[in-house]
């Protein structure tokens, strides 16, 4: 079908994705509504006009329809109806071929394979009377349908899609999310709603971390004591695993299991202590950190066990890759065992690193015999291993570069540790393959992509979504969109819109906060509490582990630190306003800042009785007091900067003391407005 039938070509402007947010139809003299796409497509050509969505919207196909496409179209139709409130009355795929009256034509040549380097590209043409989505594989159709849903907009005449042409393809083939079900078990519904979220932002690998010191999370028919004794009953049955794999496959997502060996393995030994390097007995580990227990690489029974175990798992998981972990084995259990020390000597293995390389080599052969390729954390990088393994870099991008130079494919996770509660902008700036990576063309091709990692020391099924979303959408854009897409402000503009849409698939990343606050406060009158928590963030990095309380698997994750979003939007906008004010001394910005400070002060008065009435909230009283003092200092600072009249003697010292006090961590949270208030105070006092 020629494009001009869809949209008049006159007035068409080709926009590179990088300029898309600012793209304008200058000829027509009107700015287009900003597109709220994430990830941004590779190429977008906007046109005048709209496709109006009405109740007779229908989906047809120009090619054979496989089961995945059929289900995807039905889901699309349900979501479109849900968003528009329209009673879409027609069947899905009632029409084949160029049928008059069909709204959306889908066309794909074949079913895509769920493996790296498969074609996920698509072409989306939205004209005023029909839409065509054309892709080499049905995976491209899935990606394009998500783009189309993101394009849905409304005005006074109703819902519409803007007329445009999108040509899109991923920059990286491996775009993953790791969910750690080991440290805290994540039930199937948590996994499924996150798969839906992943599909919305075009992520295509669920890395399912299934075993840890703290839990063995999958049913094994061959070795039932693994899940019976190693999980407290929190494990996935094999039927549930098949269900998740099929749910993911319907959304074009691979499911790659990780069984972390030889370390991180205490839970395996509760049922099978004979596989460990020390005699045991073993109990499920409840603490977090790097533990000593490790498989015994010198015992042939261990390799026989893995042959049977990986045989069973290889039959269950269709993905070409099996992740063996391999991280953080310090070798203490190996050093303590004389038989293992003798084994090293007899085999000419100079150190534990060489011993682990030997172990990996044996595991690699076992996996290969069961038709699986091996992937592991960067510790497994050993030049003697064959070149079809994949290295997952967590300690630094250097490992990825080093691996590529040695001819190994790799994916980046360093910089995508979403459990550390860093801002979306931090992850967004982290590129797996920057221009200055120092790699040749062939080496660059070995960088396959990256994965966000949701480690679960400090998340429960209740809070996990709020640590994954929406920040992971920014990582998804880094992995899908062209490298030139880098505008941070525009990323946040779109991220906010996408975050709301992610609720559509049941993700709890937004609503969970109010649920926790209601429970903590013991009332549904939580406005003052919410206003306060809005400028609170959980402590970053691993700082929560060094604040006097030892977190274990059984610790409560229901405090303000758990309710607070990892990144405060209010604090981000406040910091930007402070920067603007200090640059321009603009009166309007000054008034905004003053209003914000007054508001925080007033909120404190409303908050005090709420905190007093709840024993669970009392720990944040000093944090609330800090915020009130910062507001007081900020208010005086704005007035001083604006008037040019320095505050009275002793003011600067008192303000600096308030800032210092606000910086000392309390209740495992921090106040992200501190640096901006400090800038104001310094400007006011001329320091």
User: Is there a contact between 47 and 163 (Cβ–Cβ < 8 Å)?
Assistant: yes
Among 519, 417, 502, smallest CA distance to 465 is for 502
Q: Which member of 377, 408, 532, 574 binds ligand ACM (CB under 6 A)?
A: 377
Task: Give the nearest distance from C-beta 609 to ligand ACM in angstroms.
Answer: 43
Number of chain residues interacting with ligand ACM (CB under 6 A): 4
Q: How many CA atoms lie within 13 A of 122 on its CB side?
A: 27
Pick the closer one to ligand ACM by CB: 382 or 603: 382
Task: Give the nearest distance from C-beta 327 to ligand ACM in angstroms.
Answer: 4
Pick the closer one to ligand ACM by CB: 327 or 656: 327
What kind and span of H or E run contains 100?
none
Task: Give the nearest distance from C-beta 394 to ligand ACM in angstroms.
Answer: 4
Measured CA to CA, the distance from residue 366 to residue 641 in angstroms comes to 69
Q: Which tokens sit at 208? A: 């399912």
* Residue 208 interacts with ligand ACM (CB under 6 A): yes or no: no
* Residue 327 interacts with ligand ACM (CB under 6 A): yes or no: yes
Task: Give the nearest distance from C-beta 31 to ligand ACM in angstroms.
Answer: 45
Task: Give the nearest distance from C-beta 266 to ligand ACM in angstroms.
Answer: 15
| Orientation of helix 674-685 relative to helix 569-584, angle to 10° | 20
Based on the residue annotation, tell me whether 642 is a catalytic residue of this protein.
Answer: no
Among 142, 98, 146, 106, smallest CA distance to 125 is for 106
Q: Which of residues 477-536 bind ligand ACM (CB under 6 A)?
A: none
Residue 249-278 contact track with ligand ACM, rule CB under 6 A, x = bound: ------------------------------
Measured CA to CA, the distance from residue 198 to residue 256 in angstroms comes to 14
Neighbours of 84 (CB within 10 A): 18
Pick the closer one to ligand ACM by CB: 44 or 210: 210
Measured CA to CA, the distance from residue 225 to residue 230 in angstroms comes to 7
Pick the closer one to ligand ACM by CB: 328 or 490: 328
Task: Give the nearest distance from C-beta 377 to ligand ACM in angstroms.
Answer: 5
Pick the closer one to ligand ACM by CB: 93 or 377: 377
Pick the closer one to ligand ACM by CB: 57 or 377: 377
Neighbours of 117 (CB within 10 A): 10
Task: Give the nearest distance from C-beta 375 to ligand ACM in angstroms.
Answer: 12
Rounded to 10 degrees, the C-alpha dihedral 313/318/320/323 comes to -40
Neighbours of 258 (CB within 10 A): 26
Pick the closer one to ligand ACM by CB: 219 or 379: 379
Q: Which member of 43, 328, 462, 586 binds ligand ACM (CB under 6 A)?
A: 328
User: Is there a contact between 634 and 595 (Cβ–Cβ < 8 Å)?
Assistant: no
3-state secondary structure of 124: strand
Catalytic residue among 118, 312, 328, 619: 328
Measured CA to CA, the distance from residue 68 to residue 247 in angstroms comes to 10
User: Is there a contact between 476 and 502 (Cβ–Cβ < 8 Å)?
Assistant: no
Pick the closer one to ligand ACM by CB: 80 or 390: 390
Q: Which tokens sit at 455? A: 């480690």
Residues in the chain: 687
Q: Which of residues 102-121 bind ligand ACM (CB under 6 A)?
A: none
Neighbours of 90 (CB within 10 A): 17
Task: Give the nearest distance from C-beta 245 to ligand ACM in angstroms.
Answer: 23
3-state secondary structure of 276: strand
Return the DSSP state at 287.
B
* Residue 394 interacts with ligand ACM (CB under 6 A): yes or no: yes
Measured CA to CA, the distance from residue 650 to residue 293 in angstroms comes to 58
Residues acting as catalytic residues: 328
Interface positions with ligand ACM (CB under 6 A): 327-328, 377, 394
């Amino acid at each position: 079908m020629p494009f001009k039938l869809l949209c008049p070509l006159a007035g068409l402007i080709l926009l590179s994705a990088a300029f898309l947010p600012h793209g304008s139809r200058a000829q027509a003299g009107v700015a287009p509504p900003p597109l709220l796409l994430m990830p941004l497509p590779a190429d977008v050509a906007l046109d005048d006009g709209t496709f109006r969505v009405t109740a007779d919207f229908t989906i047809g196909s120009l090619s054979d329809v496989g089961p995945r496409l059929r289900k995807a179209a039905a889901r699309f139709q349900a979501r479109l109806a849900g968003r528009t409130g329209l009673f879409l009355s027609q069947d899905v795929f009632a029409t084949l071929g160029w049928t008059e009256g069909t709204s959306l034509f889908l066309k794909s040549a074949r079913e895509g394979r769920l493996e790296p380097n498969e074609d996920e590209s698509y072409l989306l043409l939205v004209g005023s009377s029909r839409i065509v989505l054309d892709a080499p594989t049905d995976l491209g159709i899935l990606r394009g349908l998500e783009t189309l849903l993101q394009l849905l907009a409304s005005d006074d005449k109703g819902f519409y899609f803007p007329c445009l042409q999108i040509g899109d393809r991923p920059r990286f083939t491996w775009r993953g999310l790791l969910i750690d079900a080991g440290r805290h078990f994540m039930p199937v519904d948590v996994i499924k709603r996150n798969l839906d979220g992943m599909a919305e932002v075009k992520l295509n690998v669920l890395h399912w971390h299934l075993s840890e010191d703290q839990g063995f999370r999958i049913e094994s028919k061959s070795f039932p004591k693994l899940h019976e004794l190693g999980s407290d009953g929190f494990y996935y049955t094999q039927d549930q695993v098949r269900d998740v794999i099929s749910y993911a496959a319907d959304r074009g997502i691979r499911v790659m299991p990780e069984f972390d060996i030889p370390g991180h393995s205490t839970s395996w030994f509760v049922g099978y202590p004979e596989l460990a390097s020390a005699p045991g007995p073993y109990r499920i580990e409840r603490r977090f950190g790097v533990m000593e227990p490790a498989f015994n690489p010198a015992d042939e029974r261990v390799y026989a066990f893995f042959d049977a175990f990986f045989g069973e798992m290889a039959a269950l998981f269709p993905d070409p890759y099996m992740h063996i972990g391999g991280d953080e084995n310090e070798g203490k259990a190996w050093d303590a065992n004389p038989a293992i020390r003798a084994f090293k000597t007899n085999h000419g293995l100079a150190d534990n690193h060489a011993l682990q390389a030997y172990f990996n080599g044996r595991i690699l052969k076992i996996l290969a015999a069961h038709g699986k390729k091996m992937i592991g954390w960067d510790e497994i990088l050993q030049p003697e291993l064959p070149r079809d393994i994949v290295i997952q870099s967590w300690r630094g991008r250097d490992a990825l570069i080093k691996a590529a130079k040695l001819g190994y494919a790799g994916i980046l996770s360093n910089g995508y540790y979403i459990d550390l509660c860093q801002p979306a902008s931090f992850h967004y700036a982290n590129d797996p393959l920057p221009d200055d990576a120092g790699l040749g063309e062939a080496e660059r091709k070995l960088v396959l992509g990256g994965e966000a990692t949701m480690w679960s020391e400090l998340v429960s099924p209740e809070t996990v979504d709020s640590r994954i979303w929406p920040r992971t959408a920014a990582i998804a854009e880094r992995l899908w969109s062209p490298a030139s897409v880098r505008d941070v402000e525009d990323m946040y503009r779109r991220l906010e819109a996408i975050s709301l849409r992610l609720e559509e698939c049941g993700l709890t990343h937004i609503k969970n906060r109010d649920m926790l606050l209601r429970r903590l406060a013991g009332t549904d009158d939580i406005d003052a509490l919410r206003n306060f928590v809005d400028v609170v963030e959980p402590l970053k990095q691993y700082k929560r582990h060094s604040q006097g309380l030892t977190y274990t698997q059984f610790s409560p994750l229901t405090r303000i630190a758990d309710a607070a979003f990892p990144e405060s939007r209010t604090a981000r906008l406040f910091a930007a306003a402070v920067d603007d004010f200090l640059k321009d001394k603009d009166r309007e910005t000054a008034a905004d800042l003053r209003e914000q400070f007054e508001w925080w002060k007033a909120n404190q008065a409303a908050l005090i009785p709420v905190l007093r009435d709840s024993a669970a909230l009392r720990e944040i009283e000093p944090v609330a007091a800090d915020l009130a003092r910062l507001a007081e200092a900020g208010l005086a600072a704005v007035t001083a900067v604006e008037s040019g009249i320095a505050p009275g003697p002793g003011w600067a010292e008192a303000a600096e003391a308030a800032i210092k006090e606000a910086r000392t961590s309390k209740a495992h949270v921090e106040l992200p407005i501190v640096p901006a208030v400090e800038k104001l105070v310094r400007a006011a006092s001329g320091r």
